[in-house]
Structure 1
Amino acid sequence: MKFLTILAISIGLLTASQAMERPSFHTKGTPIGKPTGTLKPGEYWWKPQLSPSGPVVVLVSIPQQTMHVYRNGILIGRSTISSGKSGSTPGGVFAILEKKETHRSKKYNNAPMPNMQRLTWTGIAMHSGQLPGYPASHGCIRLPYDFSQLLFTTTSRGGTVV
């Protein structure tokens, strides 16, 4: 009986931790097969094998609500994003300061921020989130969940984001 209780609790804990990975209101993401053309909210393209190693640069277009990922100057990925409302996402060149697969906002009601990559110490980061097709965050760069996982495993602390 004790064994079954421990087993049930263990399964419950494992299930709960997996549910935290992608909050239900975060956009899962839809892979597409072409590197060019218009992307619908939540769509992404990812082909890291085109340039398997080398430095990575992430370019974010706030007007287009897109992200392009380059390795050795070769496009390996692109995605839709949702940046901050009313100019709250700063422009410039940033280094990835911190990376956490599981993170919760200290600023916005403990909001889940899976695959968080911090760009400033004042609350700007790239992470999984809801993508409505327009700027909607407090300043962060929201990504489709699946794309955020791929990007997280490709970038490094100190990596460049423009």
Structure 2
Amino acid sequence: MRRIATILLPALLSIGVAAPARAGGMDALAITEAAATLPPNQFVWTPAADGPGRVSVLISIPDQRAYVFRGERLVAASSVSTGSDDKPTPTGTFTILQKKEQHRSNLYDDASMPFMQRLTWDGVAMHAGRNPGFPASHGCIRLPTAFAKKLFAATQLGATVEVTDEAYVAGAFLPSGDAEDTARANDYAAR
């Protein structure tokens, strides 16, 4: 899969970052291109992200981005910080197993993990946290706080989160939501 081009699009960046509420007319390609230029702790959230439909999330480790879908429509994107080389974020298809608005880590010195959405029972979750623009966590997926809060409100238990070591290209890689993939990922997480 080819990596999305890092094209500087000031108009999209100002729409998607400075005033996300005005980004309603953005299509998947525009969201993807805006996401490619996002600095750490920034995101694109369109009004369609708050609309009806099943929510799924695609985390691209090489992109250091989260892509949010309503059904098959890309509606939001964010910078992320995934696991470092010595504590990598596992790849696969996961479901949100637990949600907790104010959570503290029982593994890492009682660290705050706001808007926590657990993906595995052994400690991998999406949550608000330091987002330096490169892999720096102990395996979790750190999100900008404002994005983590919006995503927390938009998702439900059982929502699909696909974590991949491939770059994302608009329309070419959609979260599968396949029950067999989810079962396999949860079985891996239980080991």
TM-score using structure 2 length: 0.66
Shift of 1:51: 7.0
Structure 2 counterparts to residues 6-25 of structure 1, below 5 A: none
Percent identity, aligned pairs only, is 49
Write the letter of the residue equivalent to 1:139. Answer: G
Write the letter of the residue equivalent to 2:127. Answer: H
Structure 2 counterparts to residues 69-80 of structure 1, below 5 A: 69-80=68-79
Identify the range of structure 1 (69-78 vs 113-122) with the bigger mean alpha-carbon deviation.
Answer: 69-78
Query: What's the counterpart of residue 64 of structure 1?
Result: 63
Shift of 1:84: 0.3
Structure 2 counterparts to residues 13-162 of structure 1, below 5 A: 31-32=17-18, 33=20, 35=31, 36-37=33-34, 38-49=37-48, 52-86=51-85, 88-162=88-162
Segments of 4+ moved more than 4 angstroms: none
Identify the range of structure 1 (83-92 vs 107-116) with the bigger mean alpha-carbon deviation.
Answer: 83-92
Partner Cα separation in structure 1 for residue 130 and residue 64 of structure 2: 13
Which deviations, in whole Å up to 9, do the C-alpha atoms of 1:95-131 show, x marking residues without a partner? 0000000000000000000000000000000000001
Partner Cα separation in structure 1 for residue 75 and residue 104 of structure 2: 29
Aligned length: 133
- Give the gaps of 5 or more residues in structure 1: 1-29
From the superposition, tell whether residues 42 and 50 of structure 1 become closer, same or farther in structure 2 (CA, over 3 Å). closer
Which deviations, in whole Å up to 9, do the C-alpha atoms of 1:54-113 show, x marking residues without a partner? 111100000010000000211111000000001610000000000000000000000000
- Work out which of the two has the higher radius of gyration on C-alpha atoms and give 1 or 2: 1
RMSD over equivalenced CA pairs, Å? 1.6
Shift of 1:31: 3.3
TM-score using structure 1 length: 0.78
